[in-house]
Amino acid sequence: MSTSRSARPRWLAVLSTAALAGVAYVSILENYFHLDDFRHLYDLHNDPVRFVLEPFGGHLYVVRNTLFMGFHALFGMEPKGYFSLVLLTHIVNTGLLARLLWWLSGSGWVAFFGASIWAVSPAHSSVLGWYSAYGHVVATTAFLWVAGGVAVHRANESRYRLQGTAAWCAILVIGAMSYATGIAIACVFPFVLALFDPRVIRDRGAAAVMVSLPFFVIGMYFAVHHFWGQPGHQSPFEISLLKPNAIADNASDVWRLLTIGFGVLASALTTSAGASGSWIAVGFLALLVASYWLGAHREARTSLAWFLLAMSAYLSVSLGRGEFAVASFMPVSNVSLDRYQYLATSCLVAAGGSLAGWWLQHPNFLLSRGCRAVLVLGSIMLIVHLGLHPIANISHESERNLARRALQLIRTQVVRAPNGPIAYLVDRSTGIDKPIKGSAFSTLMFSGTLSRAFVTLFDSDHFNGKTVRFVTSPGAVKREDEKGLTLLSRMLVSNEEYASILREKENE
């Protein structure tokens, strides 16, 4: 395949799938912050430098948290701005996947169908509808950008050069610093690239840069955990690798994630796809072997390359979740796993697209036409299913209501405070978590004190034209001072200090 071939089918596939992705997930614009979002807002307001650099849950969030800070500077606490950019990134990712599939298969139908079942899968709402998972979306952008470039390179038989390869590596590092699956992709990609296009090893400079990428990423991961992680704590990957039966447990987790991944893709076509993931996984592996046996050696090698990338992403999830499994005696299989499928399923689609392109061009007329008919019928089913079963979005209204109640509580307390430029409030319990029992949001932020709720929702110590201070015990002030939480520490006043302030006012 060469660039001289008509680009019209490619661009039709890219634009149509991107539009479909936008239509499918436009409802996320109504979402509010959720779960870890409030923890991150609290950390961002208190210590921005540590917020950017500190690892969280096995992830390196340097890029994602830098974007979080930028979005916060632009949009503050208005979530629609955040989710507008999440939706835009998903649309871009869909277009990038369609472009990759076209270069792998040479078929507009493969590009449209493959990118569409990935783009409109309802399971992705757990990623796209939760801002804390935006790093996963960004890591996928980095991967698809590089994967598309590599596919074009191979199709045009272009020479691999040091500068271009180094640029790809830099983009993969960006993905690694966005989400844990990006770390896995960066570590495995050089070896997968050698399988996908062995010509890369002919240029010593390009090959050297690619081989050094895993060592750089692994070193960066442990360096960040050493300097910015919790003192005395092992990284989640270390915990998972050192636990009893590590190999068997991780292998079991990876297989389960894989079967869920195929179910996630099938859910774009039917509401009863969940139980079919295992059969689809077995069927794909059988098709891979059959294609190689029938002579599709290059296509099978290509498919295997993308499949190995998906498996590496799943392994990173298993290793990263091991910390929680050990701590709570809860295996990964009992955790909601849809939100870990976004990047890996794009790899699975690329693996399937590589084989589909060969079957479409099979010399047997019935086989090639049958494959085309399946793609056309599947595309129709997908559009009809999306029309009949729009993606059910969880807008997190309970969190929005809790935030409103917290704001009203703070406003009431400030209004009731004595006149003056500074409003001294008693740092009591908010009490607003009780009506919504079990809300993770209230547990994280609002089941504590009024000061924690304030710092979560505001990035300064001013409200309604007044400087706000919270009166609490000397022990609480000391604890927060030791943590180095700049905003919260500045806002806390001990009982003794407040009594001294009152005496000075009386003397005046």
d(CA 359, CA 113): 15
One domain for residues 405 and 384: no
Instruction: Please identify, among 337, 366, 388, the residue that sits at the C-terminal boundary of a domain.
Output: 388
Query: DSSP string spanning 444-483?
Result: IIITSBHHHHHHHH-SSSEETTEEEEEEE-HHHHHHHHHH
One domain for residues 382 and 453: no
Quick check: is 2 in a domain?
A: no
One domain for residues 250 and 119: yes
d(CA 467, CA 99): 53
d(CA 138, CA 140): 5
Quick check: is 461 in a domain?
A: yes
One domain for residues 208 and 238: yes
Strands 462-463 and 466-472: antiparallel
More confident: 432 or 145: 145
Residue 315 has pLDDT above 50, yes or no: yes
Candidate ranges 187-201, 354-368, 427-441; pick with highest mean pLDDT: 187-201
Angle between helices 297-328 and 246-266 (to 10 degrees): 120
Confidence class of residue 158 from pLDDT cuts 50, 70 and 90? confident
d(CA 256, CA 414): 52
Instruction: Please identify, among 364, 388, 412, the residue that sits at the C-terminal boundary of a domain.
Output: 388
Quick check: is 212 in a domain?
A: yes
Instruction: Please identify, among 388, 412, 436, the residue that sits at the C-terminal boundary of a domain.
Output: 388
Buried b / exposed e over 345-357, threshold 16 CB at 10 Å, is bbbbbbbbbbbbb
Quick check: is 170 in a domain?
A: yes
Quick check: is 415 in a domain?
A: yes
One domain for residues 273 and 351: yes
One domain for residues 145 and 64: yes
Q: What are phi and psi of 245, to 5 degrees?
A: 55, 35
Q: Is residue 39 classed exposed, middle or buried when 0-12, 13-18 and 19+ CB atoms within 10 A define those classes?
A: middle
- Dihedral sign, CA of 171, 174, 179, 181? positive
CB 40 within 8 Å of CB 65: yes
- Rounded to two decimals, the pTM is 0.89
One domain for residues 292 and 161: yes
- CA angle, 33 then 35 then 37, to 5°: 50
Least reliable range by pLDDT among 264-273, 403-412, 478-487: 478-487
State the pLDDT at residue 444: 45
What is the count of structural domains for the chain?
2
Q: pLDDT for 352-386, tens place per residue?
A: 999 998 888 877 777 778 888 888 888 888 888 88
d(CA 504, CA 496): 12
Residue among 24, 36, 21 at smallest CA distance from 140 = 21
Residue among 283, 295, 299 at smallest CA distance from 350 = 299
State the pLDDT at residue 275: 64
One domain for residues 365 and 402: no
d(CA 274, CA 295): 33
One domain for residues 380 and 432: no
One domain for residues 166 and 77: yes
One domain for residues 432 and 489: yes
Quick check: is 3 in a domain?
A: no
Quick check: is 217 in a domain?
A: yes
Strands 492-494 and 422-426: unpaired
Q: pLDDT for 451-476, tens place per residue?
A: 888 888 887 888 878 888 888 888 77
In a 3-state reduction of DSSP, which class is residue 1?
coil
Residue 329 has pLDDT above 60, yes or no: no
Confidence class of residue 239 from pLDDT cuts 50, 70 and 90? low
Confidence class of residue 439 from pLDDT cuts 50, 70 and 90? very low
Quick check: is 1 in a domain?
A: no
- CA angle, 83 then 88 then 92, to 5°: 145
DSSP state of 56: B
CB 172 within 8 Å of CB 63: no
Question: Which spans in 361-494 are helix H?
Answer: 365-388, 397-416, 440-441, 450-457, 474-483, 486-491
One domain for residues 271 and 409: no
State the pLDDT at residue 470: 87
Question: What is the domain extent for residue 157?
Answer: 8-388
